[in-house]
Amino acid sequence: MNIIVIGGGAAGMMAAAQAAMCGASVTLIEKNEKTGKKIYITGKGRCNVTNDCSEAELLENVVRNPRFLYSAVNSFNSEDLKNYIEANGVPLKVERGNRVFPVSDKSSDIIKALNRGMENAGVKVLLNTEVKRLIIDNCSACGVLTSRGEMRADAVILTTGGCSYPQTGSDGKGFELARQAGHTVTKLTPALVPINTSDSFLPELQGLSLKNVRLCAQKGKKLLFSQQGEMLFTHFGISGPLVLTMSSTVPCELISELDVYIDLKPALSMEQLDSRIIKDMLSCGNKRFKNSLTGLAPSALQGVLVSLSGIDPNKRADQLSREERTRLASLFKHFTLNVSSFRGFNEAIITRGGVELKEINSSTMESKITKGLYFAGEMLDTDAFTGGFNLQIAFSTGYLAGVSAAQSIGGYNG
């Protein structure tokens, strides 16, 4: 009763441990020199391991194909994951937005807990080993050909990740194995990723962080994205929570065609903002307009706003005309960005796209095309917003795949 798990990330380590706990003899194959390399860099090295929310709330934060995840999330939810991590020696804490981190703030501790879970379950781990192809007989997965030779198994679980952060080993090559087994792989694009812009004022705003602003994207009259929060300007364009969320919401191929803008004063209507501008300009007395925006915008942004407004920078602030105030207010409410493209997979937190879900049994994670082949984690064509949701998806689908594979070949429900 042998099971091979390909890929030593979050989904793979969970699948391997659970399959072994159900009585299977499990070998996890990892091409890197250690497991969990992508986990190590998540949450800026702190590892936002999950979100302390209900199953329904988690699914509400899944951008694509949430219904597919119903069985997986209900089989192994965030509470189950927290208990598993803490049972393996790593205490957790809940922070803003219900984000769960290790108390130590070290992602390496999460990796240690997952490795400990595999070790306790009796999983054999092969490092520095590459899987070259699947061995499939009569439409059934029965092993793999590796850089160490051929290995036979009763079931194979494929958890090699997507294409994001390829330097961690998540380079998309696992999708070649999926195709070899007859599976369709949908279009793969970066998601939860910064965005390039071509604005001339970018050098002046580099490093500027904006809070409580609204980022919007629309095509024609259709509003595709509108959310309030934080973002920042970089040397190439824009990043931060709002931008990452938008990148997972709007179609990648349409990004250069969208009208993307920032509402710098989302709490104020145009009328309220005009009143605020009048008040600020009058309080400036005989100051020049270029020196009058200190109460309305961060210092790095003031010069850009003055330039874009078309108002004479040397005009007395208290002498702005109604038309000039309207132009200034409109600029605050609709600060336009010339977006050009998403950044690449090297900077993407996750991959949009993956193995076609119609070809996978959502109740077991088993392939409908190749018997004995299971999928979990980022290989699946489903993804979520930031906040620990994507890792929970990996753990939940890994759990279900591991248990299902073991049960299918005569294991018990441990």
Residue 261, domain extent: 194-343
| Same domain membership, residue 134 and residue 80 | yes
Give tens-digit pLDDT for 274-327.
Answer: 999 999 998 887 899 999 999 999 999 999 999 999 999 999 999 999 999 999
| Cα first-last separation, the chain | 15
What is the model's pLDDT at position 412? 65
What is the model's pLDDT at position 120? 97
| Same domain membership, residue 338 and residue 321 | yes
Residue 330 lies in a domain: yes
Work out the percent of the chain whose per-residue pLDDT is above 70: 99
Residue 170 lies in a domain: yes
Asked whether the predicted pLDDT for residue 352 surpasses 90, the reply is yes
Task: Please report which confidence band the pLDDT of residue 43 belongs to, taking 50, 70 and 90 as the band edges.
Answer: confident
Task: Please report which confidence band the pLDDT of residue 170 belongs to, taking 50, 70 and 90 as the band edges.
Answer: confident
Buried/exposed code over 184-209 (b: 16+ C-beta within 10 A; e: otherwise) = ebeebbbbbbbbbbebebbeebeeee
| Same domain membership, residue 215 and residue 173 | no
CA distances from 187 to 38, 163, 218, 371, 373 (A): 22, 12, 23, 24, 22
Among 343, 364, 383, residue at a domain's last position: 343
| Same domain membership, residue 138 and residue 68 | yes
Distance from C-alpha of 278 to C-alpha of 223, rounded to nearest angstrom: 31
Question: Considering Cα of 222, then 225, then 226, then 230, what sign does the dihedral take?
Answer: negative
What is the model's pLDDT at position 411? 63
CATH of the domain at 380: 3.50.50.60
Among 343, 365, 384, residue at a domain's last position: 343
Among 122-136, 255-269, 276-290, the least confident range: 276-290
Asked whether the predicted pLDDT for residue 394 surpasses 80, the reply is yes
Residue 150 lies in a domain: yes
Region of 72 please: left (phi>0), alpha (psi -120 to 50) or beta.
Answer: alpha
| Same domain membership, residue 184 and residue 208 | no
Average pLDDT, the chain: 95
| Same domain membership, residue 158 and residue 21 | yes
Asked whether the predicted pLDDT for residue 61 surpasses 70, the reply is yes
| Same domain membership, residue 363 and residue 334 | no
| Same domain membership, residue 325 and residue 398 | no
Residue 413 lies in a domain: no
| Same domain membership, residue 293 and residue 335 | yes
> Distance of alpha carbon 383 from its chain centroid, rounded?
7
Among 291, 316, 343, residue at a domain's last position: 343
Residue 399 lies in a domain: yes
How many structural domains comprise the chain? 2
Question: Considering Cα of 373, then 397, then 132, then 115, what sign does the dihedral take?
Answer: negative
What is the model's pLDDT at position 405? 97
What is the model's pLDDT at position 254? 86
Among 244-258, 303-317, 347-361, 372-386, the least confident range: 244-258
Residue 179 lies in a domain: yes
Could you tell me if 262 and 237 are in contact, meaning their C-beta atoms sit under 8 angstroms apart?
A: no
Find tokens 């993804």 and name the residue.
383
Question: Model pTM?
Answer: 0.92
Q: Give the DSSP H or E segment for 404.
A: helix 389-408
| Same domain membership, residue 142 and residue 9 | yes
Asked whether the predicted pLDDT for residue 413 surpasses 70, the reply is no
Task: Please report which confidence band the pLDDT of residue 96 belongs to, taking 50, 70 and 90 as the band edges.
Answer: very high
Residue 414 lies in a domain: no
Residue 8 lies in a domain: yes
β-pair partners for 178: none
| Same domain membership, residue 11 and residue 113 | yes
Asked whether the predicted pLDDT for residue 414 surpasses 60, the reply is no
| Same domain membership, residue 167 and residue 198 | no
Distance from C-alpha of 350 to C-alpha of 170, rounded to nearest angstrom: 10
Give tens-digit pLDDT for 181-218.
Answer: 999 999 999 999 999 999 999 999 999 999 999 999 99
CATH of the domain at 282: 1.10.8.100
Give, to the nearest 10 degrees, the angle between helix 322-333 and helix 270-283: 120
